[in-house]
């Protein structure tokens, strides 16, 4: 999946799974933590410093098995691949490439 955004705007990364027991982990191509969702709670405690205070998650979507991470304040250095790993009774893995103009 490819997502395009502009410097200063936002980009949305989505991944989904049809079950309610889950954990979702968004990482960049250097395996740096962007944000995690565990048991329905956003846990960005181990987040890499370049993503601090820039990530939003949407709780209502999580109840439906959709995990959306919104990265605000895009910078040229954000242009890279991101991986969303969902773990639980089922597994899912999504790779999104972000282009920043």
Task: List the one residue out of 2, 18, 1 whose CA is nearest residue 100.
Answer: 2
pLDDT (0 to 100) of residue 14: 84
DSSP symbol at 76: G
SS3 category, 41: strand
| Beta carbons of 69 and 15 less than 8 angstroms apart | no
* pLDDT at residue number 8: 96
Per-residue pLDDT for the chain (101 aa), expressed as one digit of tens each?
A: 899 999 999 999 888 776 666 788 889 999 999 988 877 677 877 889 999 989 988 777 776 777 788 999 999 999 999 998 887 777 778 889 999 99
pLDDT at 20: 63
The answer to whether 17 and 86 have CB atoms below 8 angstroms apart is yes
Residues 6+ apart with CB under 8 A from 41: none
Task: Give the pairing type, strands 66-71 and 2-5.
Answer: unpaired
């Amino acid at each position: 999946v490819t997502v395009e955004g502009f410097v200063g705007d936002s980009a949305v990364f989505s991944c989904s799974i049809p079950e309610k027991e889950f954990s979702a982990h968004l990482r960049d191509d250097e395996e740096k933590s962007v944000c995690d969702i565990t048991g329905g709670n956003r846990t960005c405690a181990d987040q890499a410093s370049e993503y601090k205070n820039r990530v939003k998650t949407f709780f209502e979507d999580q109840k439906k098995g959709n995990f959306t991470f919104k990265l605000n304040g895009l910078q040229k250095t954000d242009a890279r691949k991101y991986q969303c790993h969902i773990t639980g009774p089922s597994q899912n893995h999504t790779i999104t490439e972000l282009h920043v103009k």
